[in-house]
Chain A
Amino acid sequence: MKLMINGKPEETTAGTVAELVESYGLEEALVVAEVNGKIVYREQWNGIRIQSGMKIEIVHFVGGG
């Protein structure tokens, strides 16, 4: 399945947002996900099917002032 993740075209075999996050080894990390411009909370990740062309953002905290 082709989709845009963090602004780049990516391919994935993940079926859900939860599986997608897991495919990057980020299931334990403090990350926040957005699907097609809408924030999806961790407890929703299992219920959201990955569809071709989805725009997904996965963000986290970095150092800053």
Chain B
Amino acid sequence: MKEVLEIGGRRLDSRFFLGTGRYPNPFVQNEAIRESEAEVLTFAIRRVNLEVPREDTILQHVKAEDFVFLPNTSGAKNADEAVRIARLAKASGLSDWIKVEISVNAKTLLHDPVETLKATERLVNEGFVVLPYTSDDPVLCKRLEETGAAAVMPGAAPIGTGLGLLNPYNLSLIIEEACIPVIVDAGIGTASDVVQAMELGADGVLLNTAVAKARDPVKMAKAMKYAIVAGRSAYLSGRISKKRYATASSETGDFPGEG
């Protein structure tokens, strides 16, 4: 039986959520998306540049029917701005999913927990499928769940840092407590970070920079895809416990020695 992830009533075969920013060019981006086999793609909302209104847009290169679009509210500094961006995104008719992302500190881009909770509550009430990006705070993640979030997306480390899982203990608590999917979002550096997140029991991983800024983004997208599968399988298989001393893999009894 195939193991399926379900968010907001939508079944997902892939646990890989991929961002669409910072790729060297649209061709590499498209190849990376194809290789990743991701079903959920994230985007941001910005003003059209009226000096070059018809410049290349990301969606020209992506077939809408193949993906679930997860627009984010990046740039929003409070709940009001996030709600506004979410409504604009929904008005496109592309998606009613929204990644609430409210950052106030330009250096860390860490989210504002109070505004994130407020925005999540309001958007849930307006019928959005809300996936808030949050810190790795187990209590906040539970509050977001109670508010009606469709999934929670705690960060492994600050956005774009590639530092990996800074607090695996907290992430494991979030996963243990959650009754909704937990998607580890942001701060991933390489495939082993993804494996670690999935081995903790995360339901999926969202990343962008680790693929887009890798020397070979397409190959890295492939590595991340396999890391998700490997980590998930290991999690479901139940790892052995750690021991201080060796245990031989073969029985010692009938060794063909002398005599």
Contacts and interface: CB of A to CB of B under 8 A. Distances in A.
A6 interface: yes
Contacts of A58: 47-48, 50
Interface string B42-55: 11111110100110
Contacts of A7: 47
A11 interface: no
- Majority secondary structure of chain A interface residues (helix, strand, loop or mixed): strand
Interface string B72-99: 1010000000000001110110100000
Contact of A65 (B53, B69, B209): B209
A24 B54 CA distance: 8
A26 B54 CA distance: 7
Interface string A52-65: 00000111111111
A7 B192 CA distance: 44
Contacts of A61: 43-45, 57-59, 69, 71, 89, 92, 94
Interface in A18-43: 24-26, 29-32, 34, 39, 41
B213 to A, nearest CB: 11
B57 A64 contact: no
The range of chain A's interface size is 20 to 34
Contacts of B72: 64-65
The range of chain B's interface size is 35 or more
Interface stretch (B15-23, B162-170, B218-226): B15-23
A60 B42 contact: no
Interface string B86-117: 01110110100000000000000000000000
A26 B49 CA distance: 11
Given A8-B50, A62-B45, A63-B44, A32 B88 contact: yes
A6 B20 CA distance: 23
A5 interface: yes
B7 interface: no
Contacts of B206: 65
Contacts of B54: 24-26, 29
- Interface-centre pick from A25, A26, A58, A65 (highest chain B CB count, 10 A): A65
Interface of B: 19-23, 29, 42-48, 50, 53-54, 57-59, 69, 71-72, 74, 87-89, 91-92, 94, 159, 186, 206-209
Given A39-B87, A64-B43, 13 more contacts: A8-B50, A24-B48, A26-B53, A29-B53, A29-B57, A30-B57, A60-B59, A62-B58, A63-B23, A64-B44, A64-B74, A65-B186, A65-B209
17 contacts: A8-B50, A24-B53, A25-B53, A32-B88, A39-B88, A57-B88, A58-B47, A59-B48, A61-B57, A61-B59, A61-B89, A63-B29, A63-B58, A65-B20, A65-B74, A65-B208, A65-B209
